[in-house]
Amino acid sequence: MGDAGPVVSLRREAGRTLHVLTGCTAVGKSEWAVRWAEANSAEIISCDSLLFYRGMDIGTAKPTREERGRVPHHLIDIRDVAEPMNAALYASMAFNAAEEIAARGRPILVVGGSGFYLRSFFAPIADGLHVPPETRARVAAMLESGGLPALVGELGRLNPGGLGGLDTSNPRRVASALGRCLASGRTLAELSLEFARAPFLFAGWEVRLARLDRKGPELDARIASRVEAMLNAGLVGEVTRLLGTGLRSNPSAACAIGYRETIDVLEGRAAMDGLTGAIARDTRALVKKQRTWFRTQLPPHPVLDAAELGDAARLFLR
């Protein structure tokens, strides 16, 4: 299941170590994290973009009260569902939590699979480049008149060396990339190189990264079981309550898998009898995207088969 070589270490500083456990949805991160944290008297910092929100419990498979009672968890239930969250704020909050845990002399375990938030432990997440309103308006007008192909074409013209790993099917990302190139006068490759060299909050820490995975049929079965359990636990009722407290005003939360499909049912755009299949289908699609992101955007790291671990101590080689 991939390279099981030495665990990643970045810019070591004595006494400052982060253990980071990631993996795709439904692989079993929470269970293994609690086991490892208990065995090592560690505290957990969540790196899941939906666990921030109070009330989003069933659809996120949020760690249970029992699990959080066994091990201290941080950055869970810290925002109302209508309050947006962003990576820069997350990085600051995670850094403060890590500093506090380290001051107590306890190991730190970061757990989650939300890529953009996960990146904050390994690299800068914002470079301060300002895109003027007139440039944003120009890009928006180009999108309106020529659609996504017009934006991709202009971006290609400005980047003769290629667009790297940019998702050219995502209008928001293409528009953002074009705006940045126009505002800076630099290519995506040049911007990426400058960005990679920028300082970031955890630059002085040693980071030990490991990823859990499972074989396809096994993970598919776990996804199906998880979706069924969520619906039996009252997912539809949870989404109904959240809609009444501002869920729709937070697009990132409202469009999350499990929530967007349920909203479609509640608003009459889809049938209730297809809800289980829709959530499972979209979860499998997310897993495919997550695996690609982990392979291409994270530093080299060991990939461990969660079904064959046996012992939580093997999560992080020493």
State CA 303 to chain mean position distance.
Answer: 17
The CATH 3.40.50.300 domain(s) of the chain lie at 17-124+200-315
Radius of gyration of the chain (CA): 21
**Range(s) of the chain covered by CATH 1.10.20.140:** 133-197
Please report the pLDDT score of residue 3 as a whole number: 40
Q: What is the DSSP string of 3-59?
A: ---SPP--S-BTTBEEEEEEE-TTS-HHHHHHHHHHHHT-EEEE--TTTTBTT--TT
Q: What integer pLDDT is reported at residue 7 of this predicted model? A: 40
C-alpha neighbours within 13 Å on the C-beta side of residue 96: 7
Distance of CA 260 to the CA centre of its chain: 17
- Read off the amino acid at residue 303: V
CB 91 within 8 A of CB 11: no
- Out of 3.20.20.10, 1.10.10.10, 3.30.110.30, 1.10.20.140, select the CATH number for domain 133-197: 1.10.20.140
Place of tokens 């979209």: 282
CATH of 17-124+200-315, one of 3.40.50.2300, 3.40.50.300, 3.40.640.10, 3.40.50.720: 3.40.50.300
Strand-pair category, 73-74 with 43-46: parallel
pLDDT of amino acid 317:
57
Q: Are 129 and 191 in contact (CB under 8 A)?
A: yes
Helices (H), 185-271: 188-197, 216-233, 235-243, 251-254, 259-266
Residues in CB range of 228: below 8 A, 6 or more apart: 276
pLDDT at 199: 81
Q: What is the mean pLDDT of each run of 10 residues along the chain (318 residues)?
A: 38 70 96 95 97 98 95 98 91 96 96 94 82 95 95 96 91 94 95 84 93 97 98 98 96 96 98 98 97 94 92 76
Q: What is the pLDDT of residue 10?
A: 39
